[in-house]
C-alpha cells in the first residue's frame, strides 16, 4: 500500500505544485489504484508516475471546487485510450454526476468502459471490497465536503513455528494448512486446531484522507488511530484567521487533529501557492512542534505504509 501524491497545491497550480490529487496504490492488495480528487492536469501528472489509468477503478471526490474536479473529464476520456476497459466508479457530493455527464456529452467524449457515478447522500460506509472498507464523513468547508477513511482487513497472525516443532510437527505443506485454521489431521494421526498455532491477527492499516476543512470533530473521528492521516495545511499559523474564514486549516491545526486522533504519521498537503521553496519549512516545523512524525507532501512524492 502506497500513497502517490500527484498534486499538492491549493486553489491554483504553481510552478512547484499542481492542484490536488492523490493515488492510493493497492496493486499488491487488490490489483488496482484508487484516486482521491482530480484537479486540473492530473492526467499529465500521472504520466510522470507508475500510476496506470487502466488499473484505476475508483475515484473519490471530496468536494466540487475546481481545483479538485477540473481534471476529471479529460482523465475519464483518456482512460479509454490507455487500455481502460474495466468499470470505473466515481464517488462524490451531489452535483458530481451532472458535472461529469455534461462535460462528456458536450465534448462528444466516448468511453470504452462502464462509468458509474455514485453521489454521496449520507455519511457512512461507501465501499466494502475484499475486506477493504471506505467510510465517508462530512467535513467543515465552504459547501459540502467529505473526508474518507480507508481500512484494510486484518491479516492472519504469524505461524507459531517454535510451538509446532516443540510438539514434533515438522515443516512442510502441513504448515500452510495449519495457518488456515480449523481442524488439521497430522501424518501421525493426531488432529489439532490450526488457530492454536497461529499468533494474534495483525490489524489492517488505516489511511485517512481529508478534503478541504477547518478543524472539526468529523476529521478526528475519521483519523482515529490511523496509520497515516493526509490533511490539508493551506496556511501557516500567522494566517489562521484567513484559514478559518475560508474553511481551511493551518499546519498546526492539522497537527493537533493528528495528536488528538492518535495518528501515527501525518502528511500535510493542499499548500497555498504563497509558500514556495523553503517557505514550506515554516508549515512543516509548526506541525512537527505538535506532532513529530509529520511530512510535507510534494508533487510526485510517495509514502509507503
Asked whether residue 166 is marked as a ligand-binding residue, the answer is no
Q: What values do phi and psi take at 22, rounded to 5? A: -135, 135
Contact residues for 274 (Cβ-Cβ < 8 A; gap 6+): none
Q: Which of 28, 37, 67, 162 is catalytic?
A: 67
CA nearest neighbour of 262 among 203, 220, 213, 202 = 220
Asked whether residue 68 is marked as a ligand-binding residue, the answer is yes
The answer to whether 184 and 177 have CB atoms below 8 angstroms apart is yes
Asked whether residue 63 is marked as a ligand-binding residue, the answer is yes
Asked whether residue 65 is marked as a ligand-binding residue, the answer is yes
Active site residue 281: no
Asked whether residue 212 is marked as a ligand-binding residue, the answer is yes
Please list the residues that pair with 267 across neighbouring strands.
Answer: 230, 295
Asked whether residue 141 is marked as a ligand-binding residue, the answer is yes
Residues in the annotated binding site for Zn(2+): 63, 65, 67-68, 141, 212, 270
Residues in the annotated binding site: 63, 65, 67-68, 141, 212, 270
Catalytic residue positions?
A: 67
Amino acid at each position: 500500500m502506497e500513497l502517490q501524491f500527484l498534486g499538492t497545491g491549493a486553489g491554483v497550480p504553481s510552478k512547484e505544485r499542481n492542484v490536488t490529487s492523490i493515488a492510493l496504490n493497492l496493486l499488491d492488495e487488490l490489483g488496482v489504484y484508487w484516486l482521491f480528487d482530480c484537479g486540473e492536469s492530473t492526467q499529465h501528472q500521472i504520466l510522470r508516475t507508475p500510476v496506470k489509468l487502466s488499473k484505476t477503478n475508483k475515484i473519490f471526490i471530496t468536494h466540487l471546487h475546481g481545483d479538485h474536479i477540473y481534471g476529471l473529464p479529460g482523465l475519464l476520456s483518456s482512460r479509454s485510450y490507455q487500455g481502460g476497459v474495466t468499470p470505473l466508479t466515481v464517488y462524490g457530493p451531489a452535483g458530481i454526476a451532472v458535472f461529469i455527464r455534461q462535460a462528456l456529452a458536450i465534448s462528444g467524449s466516448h468511453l470504452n468502459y462502464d462509468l458509474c457515478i455514485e453521489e454521496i447522500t449520507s455519511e457512512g460506509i461507501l465501499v466494502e471490497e475484499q475486506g477493504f472498507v471506505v467510510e465517508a464523513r462530512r467535513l467543515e468547508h465552504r459547501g459540502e465536503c467529505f473526508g474518507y477513511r480507508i481500512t484494510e482487513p486484518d491479516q492472519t497472525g504469524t505461524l507459531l513455528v517454535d510451538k509446532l516443532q516443540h510438539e514434533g510437527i515438522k515443516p512442510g505443506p502441513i504448515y500452510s494448512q495449519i495457518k488456515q485454521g480449523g481442524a488439521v489431521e497430522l501424518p501421525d494421526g493426531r488432529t489439532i486446531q490450526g488457530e492454536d498455532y497461529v499468533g494474534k491477527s495483525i490489524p489492517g492499516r488505516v489511511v485517512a484522507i481529508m478534503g478541504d476543512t477547518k478543524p472539526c470533530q468529523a476529521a478526528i473521528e475519521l483519523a482515529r488511530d490511523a496509520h497515516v492521516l493526509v490533511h490539508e495545511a493551506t496556511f501557516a499559523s500567522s494566517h489562521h484567521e484567513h484559514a478559518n474564514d475560508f474553511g481551511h486549516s493551518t499546519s498546526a491545526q492539522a497537527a493537533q487533529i493528528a495528536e488528538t486522533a492518535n495518528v501515527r504519521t501525518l502528511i500535510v498537503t493542499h499548500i497555498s501557492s504563497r509558500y514556495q521553496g523553503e517557505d514550506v519549512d515554516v508549515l512543516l516545523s509548526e506541525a512537527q512542534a505538535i506532532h513529530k512524525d509529520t511530512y510535507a507532501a510534494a508533487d510526485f512524492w510517495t509514502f509507503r505504509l
